[in-house]
């Protein structure tokens, strides 16, 4: 059985260590915050200028001046601190953020990442993704193993424009966990009941096992 989205988030949450400063991307990576073990305290950074991000507000707590990088209303916590965008990205580019979890369209076996544009479709922009993958110490991709049309997303080489070259450290999909080490991909874990043959059939990238 492939992992459910919840199981994928639970697995991703194991990458968070106590005391980490962490940036979660938009979409499924945001949900990882719901699965952090109770004895682990993590500081969440939002690249629009906040450390110590709290949960979504109650209806009567909504504040237009307090949003996350996905432009959703959020709340502050006792440890929260605000700063400007240049300071925020100095934190990111200076290697002060321990971990970034983000989604992807494609990941290559050497760690190249494509997650910001599909030529021929309207291009919305990279936002902070290029800065995050270039500057954060450890980059974890959380994504479905295959695209909606069934095509492979773990590839020998990305066909879409890159967000960063050789930047991915770990990929968590619904089928398993892949580590990228010294420019090569290694299968480290498989979802319970998922065989190596199925993973090979649904993966274009070459990986050691």
The DSSP secondary-structure symbol of 76 reads E
- Check if the beta carbon of residue 185 is closer than 8 Å to that of residue 109: yes
d(CA 163, CA 104): 10
Task: Pick the closer one to another protein by CB: 47 or 174.
Answer: 47
Q: Does 74 bind another protein (CB under 8 A)?
A: yes
Span 139-168, contacts to another protein by CB under 8 A: 161-166
Binder among 31, 33, 70, 179 for another protein (CB under 8 A): 70
- Check if the beta carbon of residue 205 is closer than 8 Å to that of residue 109: yes
**165 closest CA partner among 124, 205, 107, 93:** 107
Q: Which stretch binds another protein (CB under 8 A): 36-44, 73-81, 101-109, 140-148?
A: 73-81
Q: Does 59 bind another protein (CB under 8 A)?
A: yes
| 47 assigned to active site | yes
Dihedral class, residue 165 (left if φ above 0, else alpha if ψ from -120 to 50, else beta): beta
d(CA 204, CA 202): 7
Q: Does 14 bind another protein (CB under 8 A)?
A: no
Q: Does 127 bind another protein (CB under 8 A)?
A: yes
Binder among 18, 27, 37, 63 for another protein (CB under 8 A): 63
Catalytic entry in 15, 38, 47, 79: 47
d(CA 39, CA 83): 28
Binding site for another protein (CB under 8 A): 46-50, 55-59, 62-68, 70-74, 76, 82-86, 88-90, 92-93, 112, 122-131, 134-135, 161-166
């Amino acid at each position: 059985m492939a992992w459910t989205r919840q199981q994928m988030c639970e697995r991703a949450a194991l990458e968070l260590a106590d005391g980490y400063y962490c940036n979660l991307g938009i979409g499924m990576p945001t949900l990882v915050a719901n699965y952090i073990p109770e004895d682990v305290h993590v500081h969440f950074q939002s690249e629009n200028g906040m450390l110590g991000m709290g949960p979504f507000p109650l209806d009567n707590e909504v504040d237009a001046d307090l949003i996350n990088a996905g432009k959703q209303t959020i709340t502050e916590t006792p440890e929260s601190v605000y700063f400007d965008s240049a300071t925020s990205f100095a934190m990111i580019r200076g290697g002060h953020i321990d971990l970034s979890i983000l989604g992807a369209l494609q990941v290559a076996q050497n760690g190249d990442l494509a997650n910001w544009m599909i030529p021929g479709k309207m291009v919305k922009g990279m936002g902070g993704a290029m800065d995050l993958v270039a500057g954060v110490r450890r980059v974890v991709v959380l994504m479905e193993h295959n695209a909606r049309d069934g095509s492979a997303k773990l590839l020998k080489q990305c066909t879409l424009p890159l967000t960063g070259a050789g930047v991915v450290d770990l990929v968590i999909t619904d089928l398993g966990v892949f580590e990228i080490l010294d420019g090569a991909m290694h299968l480290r874990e498989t979802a319970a009941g998922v065989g190596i043959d199925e993973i090979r059939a649904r993966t274009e990238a070459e990986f050691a096992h």
